[in-house]
Amino acid sequence: MIKNKILIEGIRDGLPIGAGYFAVAFSLGIIAAKADLSSWQGFISSFFTRASAGEYGVYCSIAAKAGVVEIILITLIANVRYLLMGAALTQKLDPKMPLWKRVVAACCITDEVFGISIAFKDKYLKMSYPLGATLVAGTMWAAGTAFGITAGNILPNNIVTALNVALYGMFIAVIIPPCRNDSNLLYVVIISFIVSYSCSLILPVSSGTRTIILTIIISAIAAYIKPVRKDE
Amino acid sequence: MNSIRLICYIVIMIGVTNLLRILPVTLIRKQITNRFFISFLYYVPYVTLAVMTVPAIMETTTNQIIGLIALILGITAAWYKMSLFTVSAICCICVFILELI
């Protein structure tokens, strides 16, 4: 009974997240269509991945006929933040929580579900909370992708172009707010924008390869020059 | 792209993504203490998303200037802590209107 109550709380909190996901996933679906994914393939892959940047990177790489190494690297690079979130999540889990429940809770991590899970009212997170949120938000994310794959071909061009930028809007909404409190991060983001644009003009490599190379180089230089403080 | 290859790529993506989620709660019990490595992991997500956004946002629109304006508007909206959905919507509406002109 108590378990159901927390599951329902998760579903309730997952709904507004899912609404945003649906809209953004639609634009992801337009890109997935370029990688020749059918709508059911898009649904399955989006439901089990639930990673905006990771999926975007992989679909672009598939569309550019990239090899398996690039697919693995781009997935790792684009999703390495889940490693950090997973590490932070362990502090919110009961040390006595069974392994399978830890795995299920961890698999639910996305930027937003992680956010509400860390803010969970009790001392320890119950597995059914992120699971409930994911059942709703993940399904809407997957449905948005599938819908984008199908409708991307039907809708007029100017609407598709407009919806295309929704995903980039989501990326911006993730990276900009923390820059307000961390000027080093702000400089790193601005430099990344400029260097990425410049490299796209002069480096004859795919966008996936460029993402991998620039992420490693810029992050390493930033970590060397401006390491984060110990207490963070 | 044949479909078996495509399905393999999707399976790899699902596997690698969830492996990153699961690793910390199962294997990594010790805290990472290397300061350079912690800092590197801290910067990676922001750099990746920034690199993925530019120049791609300018390449989707018919004119690069339109994408640039959407980018600047999106950054402004995000700076003032508008929600993910609002920021996305502002970018979309901006492009839609500018593409009509």
For chain B, the domain total comes to: 2
* Same structural domain, B51 and B96: yes
% of chain A at pLDDT higher than 70: 97
B36 domain-assigned: no
Q: Does A23 touch chain B (CB under 8 A)?
A: yes
What does the pLDDT read at residue A9?
A: 93
Burial A83-122 (b: 16+ CB within 10 A, else e): bbbbbebbebbeeebeeebbebbbbbbbbbbbebbeebee
Contact across the interface for B42 and A223, Cβ inside 8 Å: yes
B51 domain-assigned: yes
Cα–chain center distance at A141: 11
What does the pLDDT read at residue A3?
A: 64
* Same structural domain, B23 and B47: no
Q: Does A140 touch chain B (CB under 8 A)?
A: no
- Within 47-66 of B, beta carbons closer than 8 Å to A belong to 47-58, 60-62
Residues in chain B within 8 Å Cβ distance of A54: 13, 17
A-B CB pairs within 8 A amount to 275
Task: Look over chain B and give the mean of its residue pLDDT values, rounded to a whole number.
Answer: 90
Task: Look over chain A and give the mean of its residue pLDDT values, rounded to a whole number.
Answer: 91
- Within 65-84 of B, beta carbons closer than 8 Å to A belong to 67, 70-71, 74-75, 77-79, 81-84
Mean pLDDT over A176-201 rounds to 96
Residues in chain A within 8 Å Cβ distance of B37: 223
Ranked by mean pLDDT, which of A120-124, A202-206, B89-93 comes out on top?
B89-93
B57 domain-assigned: yes
Give the domain extent around B74: 43-100
B94 domain-assigned: yes
- Within 162-181 of A, beta carbons closer than 8 Å to B belong to 162-180
Tokens linked to A44: 């399955």
- Within 78-97 of A, beta carbons closer than 8 Å to B belong to 78-87, 89-90, 93
Residue of B nearest to A100 (CA): B26
Q: Dump the DSSP string for A15-59.
A: HHHHHHHHHHHHHHHHHHHHTT--HHHHHHHHHHH--HHHHHHHH
pLDDT single digits (tens) B46-75 = 998 899 999 999 998 999 999 999 999 999
Cβ-nearest to A173 among B13, B67, B78: B78
What does the pLDDT read at residue A1?
A: 53
pLDDT single digits (tens) A150-172 = 998 888 888 888 888 988 998 89
Per-residue pLDDT band at A232 (split at 50, 70, 90)? very low
Mean pLDDT over A96-111 rounds to 93
Distance CA B85, CA A137 (A): 14
B37 domain-assigned: no
Contact across the interface for B35 and A36, Cβ inside 8 Å: no
Are the C-beta atoms of residues B62 and A225 closer than 8 Å to each other?
no
- Within 30-49 of A, beta carbons closer than 8 Å to B belong to 35-37, 41, 44-45, 48-49
Residues in chain A within 8 Å Cβ distance of B78: 172-173, 175-177
What are the extents of the domains in chain A? 2-173, 176-232
What does the pLDDT read at residue A207?
A: 84
Residues near A138 by Cβ (< 8 Å), separated by ≥ 6?
A18, A47, A50, A108
* Same structural domain, B47 and B96: yes
In this model, does residue A59 exceed pLDDT 80?
yes
What does the pLDDT read at residue A230?
A: 61
Ranked by mean pLDDT, which of A94-98, A145-149, B38-42 comes out on top?
A145-149
